[in-house]
Homo-oligomer: A and B are copies of this chain.
């Protein structure tokens, strides 16, 4: 595992007042979900199902696919590790810069090749940390033209874009597509750990074979069942969030010595010309209680890169103002 992920406020002694460091949008109203969990706390007193079939059935119903096509996991992270494990004989190619866990997971399960290896392409769509989306037509064409290649598509941020994406009901028809999903991001509950895999049953079967029992805790299952019944929990104004993302990006781009890259979702990469993201991160945390994601540890990026996930307009203005101050002091 790399050192230095986002949402790492625990590194600092002072409390953070604004958190741009995690791709989880932090202003979702969690109250209805929390009220439900308060009522269902007795669930801690019993084992969850060894394999979370009840939630797999509920998700399958919502997605319009067979329960055999759904594997619920301990966060999208377990989805990544299970996929790497189940396909350890494949030859992975990772489209980077991207989330470091794909490479870490593939390395962990890497085994001596025994003969010809099936190709496996890992991609994140929308991509973390760049925010880019591969056009659906282009991706579909690649999938259809390369039936021997397995495509692992992490759609953890799928809710947060207006670009067309491959839907689960479309993807499960292909024998060579595995989609990874997160319930954490859309519903802003990363503490609970809840993700899932959707794929053709011939692929999920291999994944189930390497899954340990009871990996998904009972409150995550309760939350997942509740959210299947109440998908509009914590409604997010996506149009507003994406418009605010462009406003924030423009404001950052107007600062001298900083460039903010285009994005198709609610987070994006920035680059500092002359100073390191690590230095800016520490300065913002210590002086303003503002947390950003130093992105220099993404393979393919350099020490000037950091990642910003859009928050409220007030918080975004405070971020721009703080960075302006930082850059002026260093001119």
A residues with CB within 8 A of B: 1, 5-7, 9-10, 22, 24, 26, 30, 33-34, 37-38, 41-51, 54, 74-75, 77-78, 80-81, 101, 105, 108, 111-112, 188-193, 210-215, 217-220, 223
Contact = CB atoms under 8 A, between A and B. Distances in A.
B219 A105 contact: no
Contact of A5 (B6, B22, B111, B213): B213
A212 B38 contact: no
A5 B50 contact: yes
Contacts of A111: 111
A212 B77 CA distance: 8
Nearest to A78: B212
A46 B218 CA distance: 18
Please name the 8 residue pairs, one residue from A and one from B, whose CB atoms are nearest each other, closest first. Answer: A191-B218, A44-B191, A7-B47, A47-B190, A193-B217, A44-B189, A43-B191, A34-B41
A267 to B, nearest CB: 15
Nearest to A9: B46
Given A5-B50, A49-B10, A54-B10, A81 B192 contact: no
Contacts of A212: 1, 77-78, 80-81, 101, 105
A74 B213 contact: no
Query: How would you classify the secondary structure of chain A's contact residues: helix, strand, loop or mixed?
Result: loop
B44 A37 contact: yes
A213 B1 contact: yes
Contact of A77 (B80, B101, B215): B215
A43 B34 CA distance: 10
Contacts of A217: 74, 191-193, 217, 219-220
21 contacts: A1-B50, A1-B51, A1-B213, A5-B47, A10-B54, A43-B191, A45-B190, A48-B193, A74-B74, A74-B217, A75-B214, A77-B214, A77-B215, A78-B212, A78-B215, A101-B213, A108-B210, A111-B111, A193-B214, A193-B215, A193-B217
Contacts of A48: 190-191, 193
Contact of A34 (B44, B75, B213): B44
Contacts of A41: 34, 37-38
A178 B235 CA distance: 47
Nearest to A30: B45
B191 A47 contact: yes
B78 A45 contact: no
Which of A77, A81, A213 gathers most chain B CB within 10 Å? A213
Contacts of A6: 47
Contacts of A80: 212
A291 to B, nearest CB: 11
A2 to B, nearest CB: 9
Nearest to A208: B1
